[in-house]
Chains A and B, each alone.
Chain A
């Protein structure tokens, strides 16, 4: 293309009807070229895997007779999706994490918000120290954090059991009833600093004149916090809320580790990702796992969309 351009342009004055490339188009192409690294990654790591999963989900591995003469992969249409739609365990696991998310996310956000407001109120040098301190759990790799907490919870060797005995409390943090609160505590501990920082950052962006005006009008610090600061960090709350929900629905590493200690509580289908993982790598049913993954991705997309739609209304 560029060759033919070069060839033509010096020869004759451009004809008005010829498809010329304007500097505007070139500039746009140049701009687009800068997104190539992202676009390539996006296609390879995102679009292609999804297409691959869609293809996989339409097939199933079938054997015949005694099943000793090898397998064949056959096209089964939507069979895997029909099976998934009626697979109670899948939907139960989904319900389990949904209920958990509805309880844990608000608690976590409320605590993060309070901490952020506290930091904002304190200001100055204390803040730097606190900020780092609260962020430390977030910097610890999730697996390590989980192992530390499993040790703390352990009814056999954990200090919390001894601590409970001291007050004649007979608690077991790894029992069926306590499993979600225990995981919830761990996740809150882990992510509170991160959420707090995002909220705190958006607090910093509020124009100080607003506070000045409020103070002149005689508003207390509490009043300022709830009438000015909270509405202003609404967008940040929506964002952290959405990230938390998405993260929670996909909860995997924590239950997987808990499972190795209390398999009778954390069963193989405890959360959707755990179930998908077990279908793929234990039951060796890749095709079904692909179908479950797609359904799961669709559910997450829907939940995220609805959440965003209902919480992020433009300010009146």
Chain B
């Protein structure tokens, strides 16, 4: 961030270019000792203090709960800016040698951070609590049979739609993606859009490919097998392309969040594939459509069946932590302690985070805002509970996933503005990803041939 400030206030030409170059020159922290090293353990007189960086609402209160009930270990929580900024913040801190012990993050960071030796193996400290976690969440925290993150959230995906719009057009919730595309055309004929795809956000395509059973990165012996062009991805691409071609989607950017929410509220865009935590934003921004929303299982692809897609959120323990064992155990406590989980799941005090505990059913009703679903609330709860049991874990994030995603987002913008086809983008990503991995010295094979 210093670099940014410097850039923005820069005065003279060469000085600026030079300082930019300087900022660009960080070194990677030297790879340190083995993961078996547990580090310092605290005592009541001399407790260990763990630094924890995160951004989610309610995390500070979870930490307070932890501190109140633990004597030997205390957590010092620092709120950071979320998303990509948090990831880069962690990387910069690790380069500088002052990474926190614990870092809130998401599944897609795992392999890249592992590759950069920023995070550490937590297998031996999380395994004793394996039975406390939902199986799909625990599985998602693994790479090659080892765990590298303590899962804290994994929300099932489901489908919501504006019932009055659907009733008016005599439609019912789509069972398959083909039906979804058909409904897109019907809705477009009546002046509605079926879903929103923002130009900066290719996540819809990613999720659909995942749901259809694709896996872009797979470990094949000593190499990553890359395939953006398998049948499952092609099916997802076909659906996406049809929706774009038929003008069935809105393309409102999430940068203007209020405008997106207004669009759903007014029924201009009538359906949404959604995770439980997103219902929060709807409730906070809607004015008129309360009680109009109904939930249904996500429409199925011909391949993939009932597969439900959900990346996990979690807490990473860093390689630089001096108390890895204490840190991992604290993370497990935060993820599974009933009080702590209840707080995180709270729509007001917390962030509507869907728990990863073995039995999450008791939390579902409170996670879904009654205000939004009105009389349809009980049914929505049933849908979400069912969905949480179908979460699949066939998806692996590769070591260059974050860079790949940025590259993809650039090309996705051109797909949305109809300057290229979805398949053009996927072909480009196939080539780009293989080349980028090879450039980094990582073994990669083109799995599409």
Q: Which residues of A contact B (CB under 8 A)?
A: 45-46, 48-50, 52-53, 55-57, 61-68, 70-71, 73, 142-143, 154, 156-157, 176, 246-247, 249-250, 252-253, 260-265, 267-269, 273, 276-287, 289-290, 292-294, 296-297, 300-301, 304
Does chain A have a CB within 8 A of B14?
yes
B86 CB to closest chain A CB (Å) equals: 13
A249 / chain B contacts, CB cutoff of 8 Å: 13
Rounded to whole angstroms, the CA-CA distance of A279 and B8 in the bound complex is 18
Q: How far is the CA of A294 from the CA of B18 in the complex (A)?
A: 8
Task: A191 to B402: give the CA distance in the assembly, Å.
Answer: 37
16 other contacts beyond A49-B25, A52-B22, A154-B256, with CB at 8 A cut-off?
A50-B18, A57-B21, A67-B437, A68-B399, A71-B31, A176-B417, A246-B13, A252-B7, A253-B8, A261-B256, A262-B253, A264-B253, A280-B24, A286-B26, A293-B20, A296-B20
Contacts of B256 in A (CB 8 A): 154, 156-157, 261
* Number of A-B residue pairs having CB atoms within 8 Å of each other in the complex: 181
**With A71-B116, A142-B8, A267-B413 in contact, do A250 and B25 touch (Cβ < 8 Å)?**
no
| B366 CB-CB contact with A under 8 Å | no
**How far does the alpha carbon of A261 sit from the alpha carbon of B200 in the complex, in Å?**
9
B18 x A297 contact (CB < 8 A): yes
Q: Which residue from B17, B199, B255 sits with its C-beta under 8 Å from A250?
A: B17
Whether A66 contacts B223 by the Cβ 8 Å rule is yes
Indicate whether B441 reaches chain A with its CB closer than 8 angstroms: yes
Q: Which of B171-179, B241-249, B266-274, B403-411 contacts A (4 or more CB under 8 A)?
A: B403-411
Q: Are B27 and A67 in contact (CB-based, < 8 A)?
A: no
User: B1-41 toward A: CB 8 Å interface, digit per residue (1/0)?
Assistant: 00110011010111111111111111110010000000000
Q: How many Å from the CB of A172 to the closest CB on chain B?
A: 12
B222 contacts the other chain (CB 8 A): yes
383-431 of chain B: CB within 8 A of chain A: 399, 402-403, 406, 409-410, 412-414, 416-417
Contact of B406 among A50, A57, A278 (CB under 8 A): A278
Chain A residues positioned under 8 Å from B169 (CB to CB): none
A-B residue pairs, 5 tightest by C-beta:
A264-B199, A264-B413, A49-B22, A53-B21, A297-B17
Known: A49-B22, A67-B437, A67-B440. A264 touches B416 (CB 8 A): yes
| Nearest CB in chain A to that of B84: its residue | A282
A293 adjacent to B199 (CB under 8 Å): no
Contact status of A46 and B15, CB under 8 A, knowing A66-B222, A264-B200: yes
Question: Judging by beta carbons under 8 Å apart, are A296 and B399 in contact?
Answer: no
Give me 10 A-to-B residue pairs in the complex whose CB atoms sit less than 8 angstroms apart, sorted by A's number. A52-B25, A64-B443, A67-B115, A156-B259, A263-B199, A265-B413, A267-B410, A277-B3, A282-B84, A286-B24
For B441, what are the chain A residues with a Cβ–Cβ distance below 8 Å?
Answer: 62-64, 67
A246-B18 Cα distance, complex, nearest whole Å: 13
How long is the Cα–Cα vector from A52 to B199 in the complex, in angstroms? 38
For B222-242 the 0/1 string (1 means CB < 8 A from A) is 111000000000000000000
B219: interface (CB < 8 Å): yes
Contact A49 B21 (CB under 8 A): yes
